[in-house]
Structure 1
Amino acid sequence: MKKLFVLVTILTMAYFCQAQELNIIEQDYKKALHIARKENKLIFIDFYTGWCAPCKKLDRLVFQNDSIQQLLGKEFVLLRYDAENDKVFNLSKKHHISSYPTAIILNPEGYVLTKQYGFQGEDFDRLSENVLKFTGQGIVAYREHNVLKGYANTIDISMYPQFYIDYVNRDNIKVTNTPEFKAYWKSSVNRTSEAYFSTLIYFGSDVPDFVADTTLLYKKDYLGLYGVTDTETLFYFLSAAKFGRAISAKNQEAFDQAEVYAKKALSKAWTDDIIPGFKVTFFKAQNRWDRVFDHYQQRKDRGQLSHENISFFCRDVYKNCEDPQVIAQCMDWMQEITAREPVYDYLDTYAFLAFKAGNREKSRKIAELALAAARKENRKTVKIEELLERL
């Protein structure tokens, strides 16, 4: 409530005291840059795609909001840029845009001030709060003359490898097994150049292990040139790729090496966040569902799992686990949840778990409750009806 009050106050003050129309430019980077230089404003680039639901929500709830437009108009030009329509201005290539929405703030000369991958929030209050926080960071960086030094304010497309250009342009999306792709990482290209860094972060999940290992030598350089956000994102991709290969091979030694690499490459906050998830995936690959359950039990005990989280995990157990003890423990969880919240999704999971456990009587009873809940909630009933037929 306090945050909402502060936000409303800010917006009201902006509207009456500093209101200014927001210039919104569609796709034309040169036009946005011309206006920014003429009016001494920053450029907020909103990278989106036509199929991106969070992008549409951000635009509808925030950028189309009159109060937000009035507030941003004083300091910014908004450039809405379709990231998959990049053959004219090449901004997606320059800024290695591969997730949406991504936001970048440039100073009036086109230098990068700050960058953010996505904005958290499901409603206007949370989304607008995060957008305003981001724009505030951009304003502070501009006033303190802090730019990301590795990014030039011009775009020389000839510096980028052709496979990268083709991929971003969607002219050829099958490049990672080509001779050109493989040769690029062994070439004598400048490892700290903007073009190399952008290509590396874009394909971080696909490069060979030796590239990831070599990249560690340049971590300090990358932090100084490209900032914390992009450097940590790069090393996340490289670490995740190592974990992924170890999991696919079910190789404990490779997994341990990936963990060591991640702890060298990433901050403790990052590794504390990502390593447990990779361990769970590795346990699943090894069919060690008792260890997977222990992980979720600990999270449940700490109050970190919602009913939806628990049901999703228990559905995974139904589909993939053959450990009778884990199945029985998940049934206990679903019994507890459905007693509190007897909705279709949870009853459905409970019924299928009981069926897998061989308890046909309980499965039938719960399935009938699930069917009634589905009809009440106007949900499709095909799967639960099929289960009842099998019973």
Structure 2
Amino acid sequence: MKKLVIVLNLVCMFALGSFAQSMYGDAAKADVKMKYVYSFEEALKRAKEEHKLIFFNCFADWAIPCHSMNKLVFSDQEFADWMDKHFVNLFIDVTSREGRPLAEKYRIRFQAHYLVLDENGQIVHRIVGGYQIPEFKAILEKALNPKTSFAGMNKRYEAGERSVKFLSDYADILSVADQDGEVYAKIIEELFNKLKKKEWSKKEYWKFFTRQLKSVNDEMFKYMVENKADFVKSNGAEKVDRIIAGLYFQEIYPYASGKKAYDGEELLNIYLDMQKAGITENHHVYPLYEIARYRGEGQFDKMMDVFEHKLDSLPEQTLVVLDLTLPEIKELDKKEQERVVTYLKQRAETSGAKKFYLAAINDMVNTDGIKFEKSSFEEALKKAKDQGKLLFMDCYTTWCGPCKMMSNQVFKQKFIGDFFNQNLVSLKMDMEKGEGIDLQKKFDVNAFPTMFLLNGDGNIIYKILGGRDPRAFMEAIQRGMKQNIPYYILKGKYEAGDRSVELMADYFQTMSDAGELKNVDGEVKSYLATLKVPESYSVSAWTLYDNFVNHVSDAEFKFLVNNRKEFAKQVGDSAVDKKIERVIFPVVIDYLKGAVSKESMDQVWKLVNSAQFSPEYSLTLLHKIISMYDKKEYDKMLDFYEKTVTSNQDAKVRLNLDVILHRLVKNSSSEQKARAIAYAKKSMENAKPGAQGSYKALIEALSE
């Protein structure tokens, strides 16, 4: 069902764009009742002491299901009490620096994701996806039983247990664990080998049977259609028709969305097969068939009639995805384009995906963002050469989520459009259609989106792999335009053996943006180890330290701090001090969250003190604040804020120190919190407009 998965992935993309916000933002607050620990080591220790299993919430802030589970499951007091009784509950963001090693170790690839571990950190149970409380609790109860847990079922299978009931239960466990690979396929194959064909239609095997159906060409699908009455008797007409129609839907959708070249005979055969399978004309798969037919035949007015009047029964999220393929039709005349825009405007007012509709409309009228050429590659390249500009080429596919994000959320930005339309010639090229197929081979495009800056002769000046937010994208573009040595020359020099620090400063950043270095941080560190004085402190070496040395535990970072004055001679005190601050400040935040130990934090302060910073430097002030925090000297700390922090001349320093205040006074008295709120309100009055939002958020956090 690969095609259907693509459609559903697109649906998820819209959901993500609409609702995924930080768990600390207004739109994602959740009154979580779970009593979590936030350290893996602490969880193991408590599991051994309390003789409990560990429930590991493998959180990812970007994932909607994770936030949904916070709101709908982990906020239920009765359920949270049950969890606290049976498990040591561990919460770690697996996308964080501390969480990524755990994500790799436990192969956490999808969200939401939950593990049950024993006291030695071995997997007992795996749960992928969100569930409502009764079902989620039932799954966890299986984890508590050594015979029914994921690990237990694996052992029973390895011991040779093969009854129909066991295979059915085992398949359920594998399904919950999202282990739909070779093992799951093998279990299902063994299960159906033990069943007679006439048993396939039984209700207890329905979910396994349907998950085996990949396309309308499968033998099992053909058997179901031929014996539809038996399946309907056991499972109901609605379920059976939904599965049959769904498989035809996935055959038709690529035609209806323009993802597959029109084939009138193939569409007609699908229509006749649907009739033969007994799918009634009132099912929404038939309007989809009409859209596919009219779109392929170029009858766009008839196609829009279907969009406007016959899609009420289509699931809303599916309709949104289908609607947003309309701007991709390049053959629309002006009148047809106006009709599509009118339709999209109407849908924008009634759909929860309003911003995506507005982005699609903007794509059609293209008033603010990048104005892409509607020409061939050679024509766009010639235009760029004639105008003395670079050609920006976006290499995308229609199924690529990050490509959609770039088109809808980045390329539409006015400040980006203003820059591109003045300084570049821009071209979008679908790598799976037309000349894009040859260009994909020519430029060796293997992942999407891949974006190029090309000179008038078609040479690669710069390459950017992957989606980025607007600011990061513009920074990469401007790096490419300012690059001392173009990509194609830089790569050639490197391959010829040039390892000068001047070249390598450009090489690592360029190849990092291009996605051509698997472990760029490691390679940079290995290279830095080869440098000798005075190269070690050169401007080019500083570029490498500034861009790639980002962890406080790195030996290279310690070298940077210990030799701060030497680097400052080359690039100035401000640049070096800001770099050190950018690395250390997040560590302090993690310390306040409980994710960094006191011993580790003390080592950081030891490093800071060794550098002999100015008394007014942010980290010097922060060290004093944390020292008071550690001693729970809250009044003394607030005195320090009111007298010393507020008088600091650097507004950014004041803001950085102020925004963590809610964490610092978390365990203080109500009177001390009230004092912190009064301080924050006064600071907001004196803050610049751009900082007002941060202070409002601080006051809200302090007031909770």
Q: TM-score, normalised by structure 2?
A: 0.27
TM-score, with structure 1 as normaliser: 0.42
Q: Which has the higher contact order (CA 8 A, sep 6+)?
A: 1
